[in-house]
Structure formats: C-alpha cells, structure tokens
Amino acid sequence: MPVSSSDARRADSRDRPPGPVPPRTRLWLDFVNTDAAAQMPGGDLLRDFEAVLVWLQEQGAVDDERAAGIRRRAVLQPAAAAATLVDARRVRAALRALAEKGFLAERVRDDAVVEINRVLGRSAGTRRLDPHADGGYARAFVPTGDAFAGLMIPIVESAADSLVGAELVRVRRCADPRCHRVFIDGTKNGLRRWCDMGTCGNRAKAARHRARAEPQ
C-alpha cells in the first residue's frame, strides 16, 4: 500500500525516543550512497542502465533470471532503459534529501512520500516469496507488462519501511564534512557519528590527536 503523508508524519514524530535498535543497513541508504557525492573520487556508481541493474543484482533486489530478461529488453528498447536510469537518479535524489534532512523537515518527508507513492502507484505486478539457495527466503515483486517499471520498488519500499518504523531519528550523514555517506545508527545509545570507524572515524581521531599535539 502507498504510504500517506499523514502516516509518515505520525510515524516520524520527533517527540519520541530513538526506539528499538534497527538493523545495521537499509537498502535505500545503500542506494543513496551510490551517488557521486558519496563515491568521490570514484564517481557515480549508476553511470548507465547496466550499472543500475548490476547494483540491484548485487543487493539481491533483482534475481539473475529477471535481470537477464531485462537486459534483453533493454537492447530492444534503449530509450526505455535510458528513461529508467533517469528515473533511478530522480528517486535517489529524493531519498538523499530524506536521509539528510527528513527527520527535521516535514516538507522533505512529504516530498519523499510523494516520490515513493509515484513509484508504487505506477507499477503493476505480483508479489511472491522466493526461496534462496542457502535455504532462506525473500519477498519479491514481479512486474507485469513493463519490464522496467518495478526496478525501483525494493528501493522505495525500504524507504517506506523506515518512515513507517520511525527510523529517521537514527538516519544521518557522516560527521566527516568530506564524506557524504548516509547510514542508519544501529547503536543502543544512538550516538554513532561516522559512516565507518575504520575510515572517517579514524581520520577524526587522528585530527584531534594532531590538534592536541600542536603547541599553543
């Protein structure tokens, strides 16, 4: 079901404490972190339609059989594939704003909900449970008609889950001003500041150490 603006506001009340510790990652945040800002100096990971499809496969959002069919369709319909790339970047931009500003800005949340509902509303298909080779299971959305229409469904549903679950209080951008990666804080105290302690966290520690060591 599409997420309503009022439901998102109720779910994301700033008056409530951080609440339960969420999982360490969210698909929509990983998707945001494919943009050029987060990947510098590597550049945008979604450089073309094939890169979008590869990324979705790597995340388990599209299985190999479906990806092969979409690739065949992309050869026959290059304009549709190009439009899908543009749409993926549009969705990503809205979700970056949600990750960085959504907790404090109602307008940003409302805009993200409109974008989520746009994607959910245009994609017809069926939902099913698929077994994995490792014995696990995953929910899947299989679009009918347009092979490209459902590609963003797992992304926006992940964002919808964060809105419904009031997780925006734990979503933030890395405290390193040079880093644009966003993440979900899965610590119990909700005080995580860095996307990764091994990189940005260590750089901050080293900078503080140098500052203390400099003569006053």
CATH number for position 163: 1.10.3300.10
d(CA 150, CA 144): 9
Name the H helices within 174-214.
Answer: 202-213
Which single residue is written with the structure tokens 């069926």? 126
Cα–Cα distance list, 19 to 7, 22, 125, 186 (Å): 18, 9, 34, 11
d(CA 151, CA 134): 24
d(CA 156, CA 29): 10
d(CA 216, CA 199): 28
The tens digit of pLDDT for each residue in 47-81 reads 999 999 999 999 999 989 889 999 999 999 999 99
Domain span including residue 196: 5-213
pLDDT of residue 10: 42
Identify the band that residue 203 occupies on the pLDDT scale cut at 50, 70 and 90. Answer: low
Domain count for the chain: 1
Q: Is 184 helix (H, G, I), strand (E, B) or coil?
A: strand
Identify the band that residue 23 occupies on the pLDDT scale cut at 50, 70 and 90. Answer: low
Tokens of 181: 């990666």
The tens digit of pLDDT for each residue in 165-191 reads 999 999 999 988 888 999 999 888 888
Tokens of 91: 């969705």
The verdict on pTM exceeding 0.85 is no
Which single residue is written with the structure tokens 């500041």? 193
